[in-house]
Structure 1
Amino acid sequence: MTSCRLCGSADLVSVVDLGSTPPCELFLTASQLDEPEVTYPLHLRLCTNCRLAQIPALITPEETFTEYAYFAGFSASWVEHARKFVADALERLKPSFVVEVASNDGYLLQHVVERGVRCLGIEPSANVGQAAKDKGVPTLTEFLTPESGAAVRAEHGPADLVVANNVYAHIPDLIGFTAGLRALVADDGWVSIEVQHLLTLMELNQYDTIYHEHFQYYTVESARRALASGGLSLVDVELLPTHGGSIRLWARPEAAAGAPAERVSDVLAREKAAGLHDLSGYADFAHRVARVRRDLLRFLITAADEGKTVVGYGAPGKGNTLLNHCGIRQDLLAYTVDRNPYKHGRYTPGTRIPIVAPERIAQDRPDYVLVLPWNLREELSAQLSYIHEWGGRLVFPIPHLEVV
C-alpha cells in the first residue's frame, strides 16, 4: 500500500499486521477442500495526514459481494435495531422516499414497506437481494457509484433519507461512493451511516473486525473528512452498542447542513483524549492483539489436553480473522454452528472448520462453546443458556478471554 485512499498521502504507519488470510466470507464447499486457497496480507495502517485507518484494497467488491454469505435477517437483535431506527427516523424526518445502500436481505427496508413509505434498496449481491424482493422490498441489484446514484435519482427522484449501514467501511473507492450518496440524497435531505467506531475497536481489542472486506476504519474525525470529499457535512453523531461499538453519522448536503450538534464535538474530544487524533493511541495495539491470541490458544490447548470438547457458535467474518490469526484447526475446535442454512455443510476459509446447524450443540453436549460473534453477547447468551443443563460454559475471546 503506497498511498492513502482518502487524501493520497504516502505517509502511512503500521498499526497491526495480522499476517495473510483468505477473504473471510469465502466459505468452502466439501469439493473445494483439496483445492488451494488464495490468501492476502491483512495489515492495518494509519495515514498520518488525514488519520484514516485502512488496509490495502487487495480484493474487489465484485469478488465478495456478487454472491454473499451474510444475511442480516438471521440476527434477531439486528432486525430489532433496524426496526427502532426506522420508527424513529420516519417519525422525526417524515421522508416520502427512502433509499438504503447495501440493503442486504431487506432487514431494514421491510419496516419502511410496512409503514407504507416508498423505498428502494440498492444491493449488489443478487442472492441476498432476492431474499429482500421475496419480502416485498423493491431492490436494485447494483453497486453504488456516482453514475448509478445519479441514474437512481433520475428514475425515482431524490431521496429524503439515504441509509448506509455497515457498508461505508466496505468501499475501496471511498470518494466515489461518497459522491454516490450525494447523488442519491435530496438537496435538503439526510444521510444516515452506521459503521464501527475505531475508538472501541482500539480500546476493546476488537482486532477480529479487521478483514479484507473492511477497507477502512473510522473515527468521527476521519469520517467527517471522508464525507466532505463528496459534498456532505457531518451534522450529528450517535454512539451505538452494535458490532461492539459503532457510530451513527448524520450528514446533509453542505448547503443544508448548518452547525453540527454538540455530540459531534463531544465524541471528537473522546477520540482526542484516547490518542486517536495523533499516533499515541495506536502504539501498543499490536501487543494487546498478541495477548488475545496467546490467551485463546492457551485455553484451547489446555482444554484439549484435559479431554474437553470445544465447539464454536457462529461463522461470522470476524470469526475467520480470529481463527486464521490464531491458527485454530479442528484439533482445537471440532466444528462451529450457524443459524444461516447457506453456510451449513461448508467450511471456514483457511482453517477449514466444518459449519453445521445449531441443533448439533444439544446433541453433542460439548464442554465449551466459543462464541465467535461476541458482539451479540446478550442475544447469544440467552439462546445458549440451555448448555448449562449439562455444565457447558460459554467462552468469549474479545476483548479478553472470559469463560462464563
Structure 2
Amino acid sequence: MQCRLCDSTRLISVLDLGATPPCERFLTAAELDLPEATFPLHLRLCENCLLLQIPALITPEDTFTEYAYYSSYSDSWVRHARTFVERAIGRLDLGADSFVVEVASNDGYLLQHLVSAGIDCLGIEPSVNVGAAARDKGVPTHTGFLDEELAGKVRAEHGPADLVVANNVYAHIPDLRGFTRSLRELLADDGWLSIEVHHALNLVTLGQFDTVYHEHFQYYTVLSAQRALATAGLTVVDVELLATHGGSLRLWARPEAVAEPGERVAEVLKLEAAAGLHTIDGYRDLRPRTEQVRQELLRFLLDARDAGQRVVGYGAPGKGNTLLNYCGIRTDLLAYTVDRNPYKHGRYTPGTRIPIHAPERIDADRPDVVLVLPWNLETEITAQLRRVAEWGGQLVYPLPQLHYAALGDHVERQSI
C-alpha cells in the first residue's frame, strides 16, 4: 500500500476489522441467497505524513451513484446545517451577489437554507436519486463527481465561489490530491473553504471504530488535514470542534496568499499532540479499545438473550454495519432494526442480513431493549423514543461506552 497523500510506503497497521461488505450496500430479499462481496477493512497510518487511511478497494462510483443515505432524515443534522448557513452569511458577509458551492450536497439539506436567503448556490451531488430529491426542493444541483474538469466547467459557467462547503466528503475521496485541487479551482482567490470531517482524535482516543468503513478512505487530524490542503495551496486559518458524528472538525481554509492561521488552529494542534497523535505512538491503543467495546457489547446481548429479553435495533447507518459485522451480531442477538428512511425498508443489512423495518414496528412489538446504532445522535433519538419507557423498555447505546439512556425526567444515564 502507498500513502495517497505523500506516496510513502511506510505504513503501519493500526486496526484490522477483518473483511466486510460495503456499508451502504443494503440487500433486497431476492439477494439473500446470492454471494456477497467483502473487502478488507484495515486501518493504517503513514509514518511519514501521519495520515490515517484504508486501501481504496472500492470506488466512489461503486458507492455513490445510487446512495441510501438522505441527510434530511436527521432533524438535528438539518438544524446543524441551518445554523452553519446563518453564521456563514454573517461571518463572510454573503448576499445577493455571492455564490456558494456545496460538494456532496446530498438532498439539499444545507443549500435549501441559502435558497431561502436568496443567495445564489449550486450543489454538486454524485448520487442520482439523492440529487433528484434536492432538485425537487428547488435546490440547483448538478449530478456528478467533482474532479478538476468539472470544477473548471462550474467556474467557467458560474464564476469563482465565495464559499465552498465540503461536509463529510473529504474522507470519501481516494484521489485526495486531485480532489483538493478541484476544491481550489472552485474557489475565488479571496474565498473561503469550509470542511467538516470526523476528528481522528475522537476515533483513536474514544475507540470509535465504527466510523471506519470502505467509503471513508482517510481519517484526519488537523495536522494531516493541513498537509493535505497545502498540496493545492490552501491554508487552514480556523478550526471549530463540533459534537456531530461523535466529534468532528470544521476546518476553515483559504488560498495561502490571503491566509494566516488563527489561535484556534494552534490550540487544536496542541490537543492532538498531547494525545500523542503527532507521532505513531498515540495510535497504538485503538485496537485494545475496539476489542473491549466488542466484548462488552456481545456480553450484554448474550445476557439479554439468556434472560429471555427481545432486543431490536434502531437505525441502519453505515457505521452500524461496521459494528454489526465486526462484532458478528446476527438475528439471534438483534431480531431486526428500524430506520426512518423508506429506501431501506424491506431490505437487509449487508453481511449480517438483519431485516430493516419502518420505525412503527417498535411500537407494535414493544421489545425489551432497543439498541441504537447511530449512537452519535443520542440526544435526538432519545427524545424520539422516550415512549419506549411506557412499556418498560430500555434504550441502549453501544458507544462511546455501553450505557442505558435516560428516558424519564428523573432517570439518569447509566453505564452497563
Write out per-residue CA displacement over residues 55-78 of structure 1, whole angstroms, 9 at most, x where no aligned residue: 000000000000000000000000
Structure 1: which 5+ residue stretches go unaligned?
none
Aligned partner of 2:277 in structure 1 is 276
Shift of 1:209: 0.4
1:47 corresponds to 2:49: no
Aligned partner of 1:201 in structure 2 is 203
Shift of 1:403: 2.4
SS, match of residue 371 in structure 2: strand
Question: d(CA) in 2 for partners of 1:63 and 1:156?
Answer: 29
Of 160, 177, 183, 1:175 maps to: 177
Aligned partner of 1:157 in structure 2 is 159
Corresponding letter in the other structure for 2:403? E
1:313 corresponds to 2:314: yes
| Matching of residues 1-400 of structure 1 within 5 Å | 2-95=1-94, 96-257=98-259, 259-400=260-401
Question: d(CA) in 1 for partners of 2:55 and 2:342?
Answer: 32
Corresponding letter in the other structure for 1:121? G
Task: Tell whether the 8 Å contact from 2:107 to 2:130 is kept in structure 1 after alignment.
Answer: yes
Question: d(CA) in 1 for partners of 2:173 and 2:64?
Answer: 11
TM-score between both structures, scaled by the size of structure 1: 0.99
Question: d(CA) in 1 for partners of 2:18 and 2:232?
Answer: 33
Question: d(CA) in 2 for partners of 1:214 and 1:283?
Answer: 20
Corresponding letter in the other structure for 2:329? I
Shift of 1:302: 1.0
Corresponding letter in the other structure for 2:43? L
Write out per-residue CA displacement over residues 12-53 of structure 1, whole angstroms, 9 at most, x where no aligned residue: 011100000000000000000010100000000000100000
Question: d(CA) in 2 for partners of 1:253 and 1:137?
Answer: 27
SS, match of residue 148 in structure 1: helix
Write out per-residue CA displacement over residues 302-335 of structure 1, whole angstroms, 9 at most, x where no aligned residue: 1111110000000000000000000110010000
Corresponding letter in the other structure for 1:310? V
Task: Tell whether the 8 Å contact from 2:316 to 2:339 is kept in structure 1 after alignment.
Answer: yes
Question: d(CA) in 2 for partners of 1:46 and 1:357?
Answer: 39
Question: d(CA) in 2 for partners of 1:295 and 1:262?
Answer: 40
Question: d(CA) in 2 for partners of 1:321 and 1:64?
Answer: 15
Shift of 1:255: 1.1
Corresponding letter in the other structure for 2:285? D
Question: d(CA) in 2 for partners of 1:187 and 1:150?
Answer: 14
Corresponding letter in the other structure for 1:157? G
Corresponding letter in the other structure for 2:13? S
Corresponding letter in the other structure for 1:140? H
Corresponding letter in the other structure for 1:19? G
Question: d(CA) in 2 for partners of 1:242 and 1:207?
Answer: 16
SS, match of residue 295 in structure 1: helix
Question: d(CA) in 1 for partners of 2:73 and 2:285?
Answer: 36
Write out per-residue CA displacement over residues 70-98 of structure 1, whole angstroms, 9 at most, x where no aligned residue: 00000000000000000010122123000
Write out per-residue CA displacement over residues 132-189 of structure 1, whole angstroms, 9 at most, x where no aligned residue: 0000000000111111111100011100000000000000000000000000000100
Aligned partner of 2:413 in structure 1 is none
Shift of 1:201: 1.1
SS, match of residue 346 in structure 1: coil
SS, match of residue 267 in structure 1: helix
Runs of 4+ deviating beyond 4 Å: none
Task: Tell whether the 8 Å contact from 2:204 to 2:285 is kept in structure 1 after alignment.
Answer: no
Shift of 1:399: 1.4
Question: d(CA) in 2 for partners of 1:169 and 1:210?
Answer: 10
Question: d(CA) in 1 for partners of 2:245 and 2:84?
Answer: 16
Structure 2: which 5+ residue stretches go unaligned?
406-416
SS, match of residue 188 in structure 2: strand
Corresponding letter in the other structure for 2:149? E
